[in-house]
Structure 1
Amino acid sequence: MSTVPTGHQVLPDPDAVARAAAERLVAVAHATPGRVGICLSGGSTPKLLYRLLAGPDFRESLPWERLHWFFGDERVGGGPEAGSNRRLAQDGFGDLVPDGHLHPIPSDGAAPVCAETYAAELRAWYGADRLDPGRPLFDLVLLGLGEDGHTASLFPGKPEAREAQAWVVAVPQAGLAPFVPRVSLTLPALGATPLILFLVTGQGKRAPLARLAAGEDLPAGHVRARGETAWLLDRAAAG
């Protein structure tokens, strides 16, 4: 039995995964007229991607003035972990993002308040309160895969992973460390895009990939783009 999802590409290492994602992102940016909405993920491989996009190979290829950057999830509250995904993007992109084009999830309050604030921002960006099947919320969504099969902050067995109406939810109890409150986009919001790229690297991801391939009910297996859902894996993850 295959241990990787359909629609996958196996690449040599995390650097190659980041480069492949960068190339897809540049292609989306140039194929999309007007403003471009990109939903970001946290983790080590996205960190490589952000630095690559801001580096000499890709910096001049991107229409930064048209790009708007959103987030799939964030750690919130009063702890040092709060705002980690925002900081990851800020550190990676530096001063390339125009003012008002980075849209971080609020992280300095209670999770339900942060979730509703971000939901309101997404509705303002979209210009409607309901998702239209003919119009995407984002032009590209980047996601990762947790060792328990979670994606964004949608954890196995948690009610947030089954939310079918709201765009953003509070996650009061994470399924993995650090066990801090989080805010996450939901399956409907993450799937409201023509393209999802899963960036999956490292031996620790072999087990959840095998569980997905076996048909186990895991949140990452329920995320579907309206167009293409592609998995970019390195050899360590693919096994």
Structure 2
Amino acid sequence: MIPLPTNSEILADSDAVARAAAERLTALCAAAPDRPIAVCLSGGSTPKRLYALLAGPDYRGALPWARLHWFFGDERHVPWDDAASNVRMVRDAFADAPIPPGNLHGIPANGSLAEDTAAYEAALKAFYGAAALDRNRPLFDLVLLGLGEDGHTASLFPGKAAIDEAHAWVAPVPEAGLAPFVPRITLTFPALASAHGVLVLVTGEAKRTPLQRLAEGEDLPAARITGPVTWLLDRAASDT
């Protein structure tokens, strides 16, 4: 069995991982009934299952959609209608969920990489109401992250400058570390760590290798995830 990250939970399969994440979001919303809730979304197949689940009959009626604001941890710098876009994936997965106009905060893809990076950071700061993060007032209520086969998370790839960004909330990634090799925009580790809770969703046998590398102490980007982190893994990934 692979030694697992601290605070890991092993679930039966990817559907069970998605349902566990949905339960945590529902509980979080119930515990904060009188304010906006900010959720940072991840790309990938397991998060897509989660979004479809939230929009389905089991959870749709339990969520305060008018108070939920959905942000993105990263995005490929392509138009939102492109098949590679996380915005498109999220919109398709949520389908006709009652998300108010303006509550889905996509990373811009209309200007240059630098312009759109700056625009998203400005949008985050406007929502947060300050230009600097306060450790006593997290930016997000919940951050969803994944684990790439190369150990990346969000679009924070091994060997790329964005992983060492200590001040900016958002960073450009001119060259991705994995296909599709298109420029990306990513939240940085300081922004991702500014959360009441962080869930790392890890499913499938292909994730055993990066989990093993993390267990061996390799300095992969995912090893730098901090904050109140819980790892939700299925049995295929955890080798149990």
TM-score (norm 1): 0.95
Report SS of the residue matched to 1:139. Answer: strand
Residue 238 of structure 1 is matched in structure 2 by 238
Give the % identical residues. 60
Matched residue count:
237
AA aligned opposite 2:41: L
2:224 aligns with 222
Equivalents in 2 of 1:80, 1:39: separation in Å? Answer: 20
> Quick check: 1:77–1:109 contact (8 Å CA) kept in 2?
no
Equivalent of residue 192 in structure 1, options 191, 194, 211: 194
Partner of 2:24: 24
Mapped partners of 1:13, 1:82: distance in 2: 26
Letter in 2 for 1:115: T
- The residue aligned with 1:3 is 3
Aligned residue in 1 for 2:174: 172
Deviation at 1:55, TM superposition (A): 0.4
2:37 maps to 36
Instruction: Give the secondary structure class of the aligned counterpart of 1:70.
Output: strand
Unaligned runs of 5+ in 1: none
Residues in 2 aligned to 1:231 and 1:197: alpha-carbon distance in whole angstroms: 6
* Large movers: runs of 4+ above 4 Å: 78-83
Are the equivalent residues in 1 in contact too, given 2:82–2:88 (CA < 8 A)? no
Alignment of 1:68-107 (within 5 A): 68-77=69-78, 81=82, 84-95=85-96, 96-107=98-109
Once the two structures are TM-superposed, the CA of residue 223 in structure 1 deviates from its matched residue by 1.2
Letter in 2 for 1:98: P
TM superposition score normalised by structure 2: 0.95
Q: CA 1:179–1:80 in structure 2 vs 1: closer, same or farther (change >3 Å)?
A: farther
CA apart distance, 1:94: 2.4
Counterpart amino acid of 1:203? E
- Change over 3 Å in CA distance of 1:91–1:170 after alignment to 2: same
- Runs of 5+ in structure 2 lacking a partner? none
Partner amino acid for 2:171? V
Measured in 2, the distance between the counterparts of 1:87 and 1:163 equals 27
